[in-house]
Structure 1
Amino acid sequence: MEAIKETNFSFAGQTGFYRGKVRDVYYFEDKIAVVATDRISAFDVVLPRAIPYKGQVLNQIASLNLKATSDVVPNWVLSTPDPNVTIGHRCEPFKVEMVIRGYLAGHAWREYKAGRRVVCGVQLPEGLRENDKLPEPIITPTTKADEGHDEDISREEILAKGIVSEQDYLTLERYTRTLFARGTELAREHGLILVDTKYEFGKYDGQVYLIDEIHTPDSSRYFYSEGYTERQQKGEPQRQLSKEFVRQWLIENGFQGKEGQRVPEMTDEVVTNISERYIELYEVFTGGKFLKEDDHSVLDRIEKHINDNIFTTKN
């Protein structure tokens, strides 16, 4: 299937459009239709080639997880009429992403390895190794940048700058910990460890809602639980399912999103490998077979499903 790099629809009743790093968002009066494209980003940079089936994987994993957490935290979803589309409430997003970490990995490990023991205002103990379980999950928020890089920020800075009110921020923290606990349970059922993840929230009609995707390979990092302890004891790398392998490939090829750096060539082999890894995570996480939507008129299919559902989906 040809990867979906972008969409450019025009719907009756549409009031706006936003193209994010990965999603194309169509705004209506009180709803949005979000198309999960096959674009891929790393280090806050959209890479030059799209990855076949990536959008379908993300949208379907997110849909499963949003349903599986809706009893503990309200979310924005009204319907999922297409493998690449979600329709939901038009929420006003908070300008922070709530990152929560149960293990020392990825960005937090890179900070720790560089000698920093305070991440986003959170003190970390001495003597930790890469991928060690933390004494308890920590919340390390980032700013939500419309363009460019998201930046680490502390709880104190968020409140001091008035980015989020104290009352709302306490709700965001409570929801974040509740979702991480549920996500950890869901991962365990499939032989996985939820290492770290991020959540985004917004307000609709005065209520805080979970928005965007959750517990996908773009927003989360997973380890295989089998053999985790033995690998840690031996100082071996953990087997993981996440987008970290894309970041590592970029780092090994001299790219970390810094000024003057060029994205390495993404060959057909690299693109196929990334696509297969996304499908692997879907099948491990869901325990089911990934069904490829091999529709040659995929854009027509997506447009039709939005048209057919945007006004019939009830709030």
Structure 2
Amino acid sequence: MSISDSILSVNNDLPIRTDLPVHSGKVRSVYWLTESDSRRLIEQKAYPVPADTPLAIMVISDRISAFDCIWHGEQNMQGVPGKGAALNAISNHWFGLFKQKGLADSHILDIPHPFIWIVQKAKPVMIEAICRQYITGSMWRAYEKGERDFCGIKLEEGLSQDSKLSELLMTPSTKGILKGIPNVPEADDVNITRENITDNFAAFNFENIEDVTLYEKLLKEGFAVISEALAEQEQIFVDTKFEFGYVKDLNGDNKLIYMDEVGTPDSSRIWDAQQYKNGKVVENSKESFRQLLLNHFPDPDILLNKNRMPERLALAKDNALPVEVLMEVSKTYLDIAEKITGAKIELSDNPKAEIIEILKDQYQLVD
């Protein structure tokens, strides 16, 4: 098998029975099941949701995005071997730990294959819930330029790059373009304050104002659970992004849950603790790939400057990265996944064929 055969790069062309268009994001594709298939699976598998709950198959890929672009490699490498399975395994591990510790559920009902989740429909809260324990990345770049106000929080003078903050900071931003909210620009990924959220909680899809406090509690508690577990592996949980949404419980009542992915190298920065003690930052997350791209191209401003997006997209499309670069990224993802879960991530010879076979034989979702 060539290494490119093990990569699942296209994940929106599976023959899964659906009445709706497939929704494809940067990394995952979502297939909404027919009403009859949703009802059948809920009954057959005894999923703990109301009988009329819409279900979806969520298929991860091995694609890698950075700076809002999808990147590829030489020798037809359209992604990173093992990345998708590693991300799912890490999220599954943390979601399980959250549930075990009584925090909140996730949208996942079943995991038929390392690349797929069966999820219940959730109404997303329109916030990228970001938590930071260290000052680095975009926050450091802004701080270095003199900015001190972050999402309504004032930072003290005299901080140094990559240093630990005096407290865990919640720096939320908008998820998607939200219209008609006072003092919130109509753009994706705009920093917002707690006051913006509490004054307009319904516009962010919160059911009530109390749930703003609940989301903050779940964010802090989830961060602490992951941070403590990583510390045992001599890793530092630097910062992360969580997403929340509402689903129906068995009684048909709405409950706030964790959704999307949590504590992965895609959504978080993770540093090697021993190296940090020695004064060196070693990334065990996608941040190492971002840094590599910034060093790889002669004009890093293309990657950092949102006004140069057409040039950036062309850069990603026209430049196949060296195979060894993507294999190094693969090692980062597989190593951290195996550290976190305590289990080896097995690469599949043909993930797409495996997925189709399982969904056909065990779930009757492929004609």
CA contact (8 A) 1:190 1:287 kept: no
Cα distance between partner residues in 1 of 2:326 and 2:104: 35
The correspondence for 2:204, drawn from 155, 163, 183, is 163
Select 2:356's aligned residue among 303, 306, 309: 303
* 1:218-244 deviations in Å (ceiling 9; x for gaps): 01111122243341xxxxx31221111
SS in structure 1 at match of 2:103: coil
C-alpha deviations, 1:109-134, integer Å up to 9, x for none? 22212221111222111111111111
Q: What secondary structure is seen at the aligned counterpart in 1 of 2:80? A: coil
Cα distance in 2, alignment partners of residues 31 and 303 from structure 1: 17
**Which secondary structure does the structure 2 equivalent of 1:88 belong to?**
strand
Aligned residue for 2:245?
202
Larger Rg: 2
**Residue 180 of structure 2: aligned partner:** none
Counterparts of 1:305 and 1:116 in 2: how far apart (Å)?
Answer: 52
Deviation digits for residues 240-276 of structure 1 (CA, Å, limit 9, x no counterpart): 2111111112222224153233235412222222112
Counterpart position of 2:96: 67
Report the counterpart of residue 234 of structure 1 in structure 2: none
* Equivalent residues of 2:265, 2:286 under 8 A apart: yes
Give the aligned length.
304
Partners of 2:18 and 2:31 within 8 A in 1: no
Distance in 2 of aligned mates of 1:14 and 1:129: 53
Greater mean deviation of Cα atoms: 26-35 or 186-195:
26-35
Equivalent position of 2:232 in the other structure = 189
Amino acid at match of 2:85: Q
Give how far 1:53 is off: 1.3
The residue number in structure 1 matching 2:273 is 225
Q: Which runs of 5+ in 1 are unaligned?
A: 232-236
- How many percent identity over aligned positions? 31
6-15 vs 126-135, which moves further:
6-15
Task: Report the counterpart of residue 112 of structure 2 in structure 1.
Answer: 81
1:150 is displaced (CA, Å) by 2.5
* Mapped partners of 1:117, 1:21: distance in 2: 32
What's 1:103 paired with?
Answer: 134
Amino acid at match of 2:159: L
The residue number in structure 1 matching 2:303 is 256
Using the alignment, how far apart are the partners of 2:256 and 2:363 within structure 1? 22
Partner Cα separation in structure 1 for residue 92 and residue 359 of structure 2: 16
Does the CA contact (< 8 Å) of 1:22 and 1:39 recur in 2?
Answer: yes
Q: TM-score, normalised by structure 2?
A: 0.77
Classify 1:227/1:248 alpha carbon distance in 2 versus 1 (closer, same or farther; 3 Å).
Answer: closer
Q: Could you tell me whether the CA contact under 8 Å between 1:104 and 1:132 is conserved in 2?
A: yes
**Residue aligned with 2:22, SS:** strand
Answer whether contact 2:104 2:256 (CA < 8 A) is retained. Answer: no
Check 1:227–1:10 CA distance in 2 against 1; reply closer, same or farther (3 A cut). Answer: closer
TM-score by length of 1: 0.89
Aligned match of 2:14? 9
For residue 36 of structure 1, the aligned residue among 52, 60, 73 is: 60
Gaps of 5+ in 2: 36-53, 73-77, 178-186, 249-253
Give me the whole-angstrom Cα distance separating, in 1, the residues matched to 2:345 and 2:88: 12
Cα deviation for residue 286 of structure 1 reads: 2.9
Partner of 2:39: none
Taking the aligned partners of 2:198 and 2:84, their CA distance within structure 1 comes to 35
Report how far residue 210 of structure 1 moved.
Answer: 0.6
One-letter amino acid of the counterpart of residue 199, structure 1: F
Paired residue type of 1:21: K
Task: Report the alpha carbon displacement of residue 60 of structure 1 after superposing the two structures with TM.
Answer: 1.0
1:126 and 2:157 aligned:
yes
Letter in 1 for 2:65: S
